[in-house]
Amino acid sequence: MEKIVSLCRRRGFVFPSSEIYGGLGSTYDYGHYGVLLKNNLKARWFEAMILERDDIVALDSAVILHPRVWEASGHVEGFTDPLVDCRTCKLRFRADKLEDSQCGRKPSKHPGEFKECDLTEPRQFNLMFETTVGPVQEAGSKAYLRPETAQGIFINFKNVLQLARRRPPFGIAQIGKSFRNEITPGNFLFRVREFEQMEMEFFVPPADSERWYRYWIDERLAWYLRYGLRRGRLRVREHGPEERSHYSQGTSDIEYLYPIGWSELEGVANRGDFDLTRHTEFSTTKLEYVGPDGERYVPHVIEPAVSLERIIVAMLVDGYDEEVVGERERTVLRFHPQVAPVTAAILPLIAKDEGMVSKARSLYEELRKRHSVEYDDNGAIGRRYRRQDEIGTPWAFTIDEQTLADDTVTVRDRDSLAQERLPIAGVRGWLDDALERDWHPPKGD
Ligand code: GAP
């Protein structure tokens, strides 16, 4: 994890936020390559969830919702973690995760195990960030930053049903920021206070909920394999009844083998009719499906929910590799080509050669209309390749002396390091085809 954090910082993927003010614990800013990576992951999720299907529509709901939403959802009352303070070291811990925490005075021990530890009794701490709507703090002005995007979907169920003319089974998907005042954030982006969720609520006839629940576990697992996570580092773990959230009739975590051990990447939950029933009760607006022949029911909901942050950590861990090539070490991020921040680099071999520069620039300008490509003429060619390896660029096109003679370029493959020559006029088509090819992790599953 340390190597990944340092690579992310060095290459400007992700770095600690508010650094010039000393930082703000566990908040991060995304630099250029981080933004490109996030955009690609969102696009791949959006394609799989919406563009490649007929039964799911998109939504972008507000971050600040009516405060009654969070009463209906159970968050005001129950979205809490038990918290203990240590009177000696003044640190705060989750009472249910003491075995994962380190004592502030003696890090080899867990809080409460060292003789100087003096823990308070656990008290419940609500994870929602509060804010005030309007200029005056008064009764009724309290609101919350959403702790999940899901509730914005439930409260729009009726709108979508009518406006998009849907009948179950159908889904509503959205991507957006969520906020949780986590007591113990950490492990880089794995647990942060501000994260970008990708959630989809799939509304089904009650009798079909178990079938759809299994379907969505399989679909989401297949998505991770499609985008190159190794099979051996993914598993599905079903929650026992004691572990499930208040709304859940069944939950399975798709877990990834992070450096901290097997941990939740994505959750798939069968939420039953909990949310629509509660919002009907609290808002007095009936949230149900009424069929053309008069049949009516409250649909049950299957929900796959994940954050970009957890996917990014999994992709970085999975793709990170170090190897020695020709007595030189290289660090490489073996991202799936459709996920990699930069798809191809365009490199004139000699930066001062006008002929090479002009051909390289015109190839770059052609490719950038459709792809994320980078032009780089800075430094020795070997160093330029290594820079691209480090950010996970799958292909590099090099323009050299031979290009001036016969209009061909070299394409270098990040994973195999194989090089072949192509006519410059065919590069665009070659890249389109290469992006469509199946890609498997080169180091096996
Ligand atoms: N709507 C259901 C829901 O929000 P959750 O298990 O609390 O369920 C869903 O969160 C997903 O959001 C998790 O599987 C994880 O991918 C991500 N997530 C939750 N808390 C997070 C945090 N503090 N930092 C990063 N990702 C988080």
Report pTM: 0.94
Distances (CA, A) of 284 to 199, 280, 367: 25, 5, 54
| pLDDT range class, residue 135, cuts 50, 70, 90 | confident
pLDDT, mean of residues 147-158: 98
Protein residue with least CA distance to atom 8, ligand 1: 305
Task: Compute, in angstroms, the gap from residue 315 CA to the centroid of ligand 1.
Answer: 17
> Which residues line ligand 1 at a C-beta cut-off of 6 Å?
148, 150, 180, 182, 191-192, 195, 197, 199, 264, 266-267, 303, 305-307, 309-310
Query: Torsions phi, psi of 122, nearest 5?
Result: -65, 140
Task: Compute, in angstroms, the gap from residue 237 CA to the centroid of ligand 1.
Answer: 16
pLDDT, mean of residues 247-264: 95
The percentage of residues in the chain with a pLDDT greater than 70, rounded to a whole number, is 99
> How many whole angstroms separate alpha carbon 107 and alpha carbon 82?
21
> How many whole angstroms separate alpha carbon 348 and alpha carbon 384?
10
| pLDDT range class, residue 326, cuts 50, 70, 90 | confident
The percentage of residues in the chain with a pLDDT greater than 90, rounded to a whole number, is 89
- For the ranges 7-16, 93-102, 345-354, the lowest mean pLDDT is seen at 93-102
pLDDT, mean of residues 122-148: 88
> How many whole angstroms separate alpha carbon 184 and alpha carbon 416?
41
Testing ligand 1's pocket by substitution, the residue of 310, 311, 313 carrying the most ligand atoms inside 8 A of its CB is: 310
- For the ranges 142-146, 242-246, 290-294, 355-359, the lowest mean pLDDT is seen at 242-246
| Tens-digit pLDDT profile for residues 27-60 | 999 999 999 999 999 999 999 999 999 999 999 9
Protein residue with least CA distance to atom 16, ligand 1: 306
At 47 the pLDDT is 98
Helices 308-319 and 2-10 pack at an angle, to 10 degrees, of 100
Whether 103 shows a pLDDT value over 90: the answer reads yes
- For the ranges 33-47, 133-147, 168-182, 234-248, the lowest mean pLDDT is seen at 133-147
Task: Compute, in angstroms, the gap from residue 31 CA to the centroid of ligand 1.
Answer: 23
CB neighbour burial string for 250-262, b if at least 16 within 10 angstroms, e if fewer? bbbbbbbbbeeee
Contact 103, 109 (CB under 8 A): yes
At 100 the pLDDT is 84
At 134 the pLDDT is 83
